[in-house]
Amino acid sequence: MTTTRIALVTGASAGIGAATARRLARAGFTVYGAARRTDRLAELADDGVIALAMDVTDDESLQAGVARILAQHGRIDVLVNNAGYGSYGAVEDVPLEEARRQFDVNVFGLARLTQLVLPAMREQGSGRIVNVTSMGGKMATAFGGWYHATKFAVEGLSDSLRQEVAPYGVDVVVVEPGAIRTEWGGIAAESLVARSGDGAYGERARRASATLHSPRAERLQSSPEVVAKAITRAATARRPRTRYAVGAGAKPVIAARKVLPDRAFDLAARQLMG
């Protein structure tokens, strides 16, 4: 079987995932870039990234993808769990069906794929699992309750998993991006208006939506490359840190949440969200 390091990156069709897949390929990995729509992965082929059709909410798709990689290479060295999205709206307004979908994509898909790669990593006595959360896994703002809940969940899941698999030579790393220039802001803003733009939360929701997707916010955002660099460091370091907070706002916001009382942080978050 191959001696080349093998990496699997989910959510590789755009943004952080695409930048990470390219950077890992340049670092010498054989990289499988996974996404639901492989047509959006076509441009990664020039960088040597192998397109892999995978829907993290479809167990057959996950099993087939992992089986294909193991059949071809006999190992998986790095799993980057990046697939996810932000669905915004007041907790009261978001249908539970959508809340469950958010958990299916952001938490259970990540967890299931991790379950599938761990036997191979344990057998080979090495491996690196990189879970992309968010600074939103350490703090919360209004109208992002379900999204924040998923990211808080992945933070806790990662901490437990790290302790479980360390004796087998497997490292678990959390990467916590701040404000990044991707499709995320537009999706979150649109879902917020659709769910809470009218009714009891309407005025505040519309202001928050405008803040999420404003030209000023976009100017302050970091490039996905910033996160891709951190993920590559996490994937290649001899002894990686357990967490990497990177990108606009990540370190100061996480630090502020640690030291500010709840109500003081609530006030700061209200100002941040307009």
Catalytic residues: 147
Residues 6 or more apart whose Cβ sits within 8 Å of residue 121: 76, 77, 127, 129, 165, 168, 169, 170
Which DSSP helix (H) or strand (E) runs through 119? helix 109-124
Show the tokens assigned to 95.
Answer: 């249908």
Show the tokens assigned to 251.
Answer: 């370190």
Q: Are 80 and 235 in contact (CB under 8 A)?
A: yes
How far apart CA 139 and CA 5 sit, in angstroms, is 35
Which DSSP helix (H) or strand (E) runs through 9? strand 6-10
Q: Are 111 and 57 in contact (CB under 8 A)?
A: no
Helix, coil or strand: residue 10:
strand
How far apart CA 126 and CA 112 sit, in angstroms, is 19
Residue type, 183: E
**Closest C-alpha among 94, 85, 84 to residue 193:** 94
